[in-house]
Structures are given as C-alpha cells and as structure tokens.
Amino acid sequence: MDAVRDRMPLARLAREIGITRGAVAQWEQVPAERIFAVSRVTGIPLERLRPDLFKEESEAEG
C-alpha cells in the first residue's frame, strides 16, 4: 500500500475506483478483487501491488 499512497491520495484513489476513502484506508494490501482497477488508476504494475499473486516476467520465465 505504500506504493499506492506514494502515487496519489487515498481519497482520489477511492473516487477513481468508486468506493469510499474509509474502505481504502482499511486495506493492508490491495484486495484481489480491486487489483486491476487500482493498477489501472495508479499505473503501478500488478506484480508490484501484489507480488504474492503476480510474478515479474523475469521470475515467471525462470
């Protein structure tokens, strides 16, 4: 979530993806069901937002 907070205010992210700021503030990590929307809005790659779910291409190839 630090990468998200560094990229934009939580209120703006919440508005952009259609949820409340309070909901976003409760996240310790981006929920899987919100990962694509958060990545699209912030420009942060999926593998950086949730490395437990998405591997970097170089890791996936090896």
Q: What's the pTM?
A: 0.85
Q: What is the rounded distance in angstroms from the CA atom of residue 45 to the CA atom of residue 20?
A: 23
Query: Tell me: the pLDDT tens digits for 7-33?
Result: 999 999 999 999 999 999 999 999 999
What pLDDT does residue 60 have? 53
Domain annotation for the chain: domains and CATH numbers: 2-61 (1.10.260.40)
Query: Tell me: the pLDDT tens digits for 27-57?
Result: 999 999 999 999 999 999 999 999 999 987 6
What is the amino acid identity at position 30?
V
Q: Could you tell me where the DSSP H helices lie in the chain?
A: 2-7, 10-17, 21-25, 35-42, 46-49, 57-61
